[in-house]
Each structure stands twice: as C-alpha cells, then as structure tokens.
Amino acid sequence: MTYSTRVGVDLAKNLIQISVVSGRGKAMTKEIDGLVKQHPVCKRLTAIEGIGPIGALSLYAVTGSGKAFTKSGEFSAYLGLTPRQYSSAGKTNIVGISKKVGNRRLRSILIQGARAYVSRMKQPRSLKDRWLKDPIERAGPNRAAVALANRNERLQTKADYTNASEL
C-alpha cells in the first residue's frame, strides 16, 4: 500500500468516527433539551440571556435547592466569577479573577454563553442590553462577557431560589 493510499484510508476512518460522534452529540443535545423542558427551574433559567440548556442544567445540578449559599455573591465567589480581594489596615487590593479556583466547568459554560450573547448583540433593546453596552465599550467584549455571566448568575440565584415551591 502506498503512502497516499494509507492517508486516504486513515482519512476515511476518521470521517466515519466523526460522523458517529456527531450523531451521538445530536442525540445528547435532544436529551438535554428534553430534560430542560421537563423541569420548571431549568425552563426559567433558559429565559435569561446567555444561559442555554446546558448552562441551565449545569446551574441547577450545582446549586440544587440553592440553600448552600445565603447570598448570590457567595455563589459568584464559589464559581470564581468575582475578583479576589485582599484587605489589610483599611486598604483594599482587588486582584483579577483566578482561573484556578471555583467550579471551572460551570464558570466556562456561563462565560461562553455570555460571550455568545455579547457577540450577537448589535443594538441595545432591553435594559440589560443598555447596561451591557457600557462594559463592552469600557473594557472590551471578553470582560463584558464575564460581567454578564456574573450578573446572570446573581439574577438566577435571587430569582429562582426565592420561589422554592417548585423544587
């Protein structure tokens, strides 16, 4: 078998594997969508801009009833969406967001969802869009996406777990 024939055979095998994996991905996406539609809290979470079915299901899986966190800021800090703060003798030093602490996977899901929302936003239509326009212009789209993810998480924590009758 010549080199070009082997490369062609290997490419064909890889294409078959890719098609199998993408078929599994579509089936998993349908399953996730079905789970989100069945659960009322997850349905409400998908209504928040930048949170899709995977983000809603992940948020609910991590927070559960939400009783572990008394304030939304605590959950933000748990995820690693807030900057670290060192204070001594009345001086406050705010350090950047660490990528090594918190729930990395959930944080990345929330930030990716917020990035998708920021990249598709053209004209501010809602109150949140008008709020988001300022961080985009001031700090850039990536930092604005992190700010939106943090805001979404805080809204989710406040709104979804105050009405615990559906949990």
**Using one digit for the tens of pLDDT, what is the confidence trace for 52-97?**
888 888 888 887 766 777 777 777 777 777 766 666 677 766 666 6
| Strand (E) or helix (H) holding 117 | helix 104-120
- Count of Cβ atoms closer than 10 Å to residue 71 Cβ: 11
Q: Residue 143 is part of which domain span?
A: 39-166
Residue 91 within any structural domain of the chain = yes
Q: How far is CA 8 from CA 12, 14, 21, 117, in A?
A: 6, 10, 20, 40
Inside any domain, residue 34: no
Strand partners, 94: 85
CA distance 2 to 113: 47
pLDDT band for position 5 (50/70/90)? low
65-74 tens-digit pLDDT: 667 777 777 7
Determine, yes or no, domain membership for 8: no
Q: How many domains does the chain have?
A: 1
Q: Give a yes or no: residue 112 inside a domain.
A: yes
pTM over 0.75: no
